Amino acid sequence: MNFLFAELLAKNGPEVLWIFVPLVGLAVVIRLMAGNQDDARIRQEIERKGGSVIKILWNPLGPGWFGDKNNRLYEVTYRDRNGQTIVANCKTNMFSGVYWSDPRVLDEVANEKPGPMDNVK
C-alpha cells in the first residue's frame, strides 16, 4: 500500500493529495458518525430495560473480533434496574441490534482480582 501511494505521488506529484486527503477525512467522519449511532443504540437498549449507562468504550480487539468484519465492539459499564453495576461486552452495527456477551457484576469482578489495598484496615 505504501509503495503504491509513493509511486502515485512520484508520478503525479501533489495532485494525488487532493484525492487522498479528502478520502481519509471522509473515512474518519463516517467512523465517528457510526460510533455516535452505536452509542445511541446501546444507550437505548439499556434504558429500555430500566438501566442507565455509566461508560461505553470502543474495544476493537474485544471478544469476538477475529473474523468479524461488520460489527463494532464495545465494553459497556451500566447500572441495571436493580442497582447492580454491570460490565459487559457488546457487538453492534448499523443494520443489526445490540448483542451482549460476558456480562459481569462489578462486585464479582472486584472479588476475582483483589487490589493491593484490599487488606489494609
pLDDT tens for each residue of 25-79? 887 777 677 667 788 899 999 999 999 999 999 888 777 666 666 778 899 999 9
In a domain, residue 46? The reply is yes
Structural domain containing residue 107: 2-112
> Which residue in 95, 30, 29, 90 sits closest to 55, CA to CA?
90
Residue 100 domain flag: yes
For the entire predicted model, the pTM comes to: 0.65
Per DSSP, 27 falls in state H
- Number of domains the chain is built from: 1
In a domain? residue 69 = yes
92 part of a folded domain: yes
Residues in CB range of 57: below 8 A, 6 or more apart: 74, 75, 76
Quick check: is 118 in a domain?
no
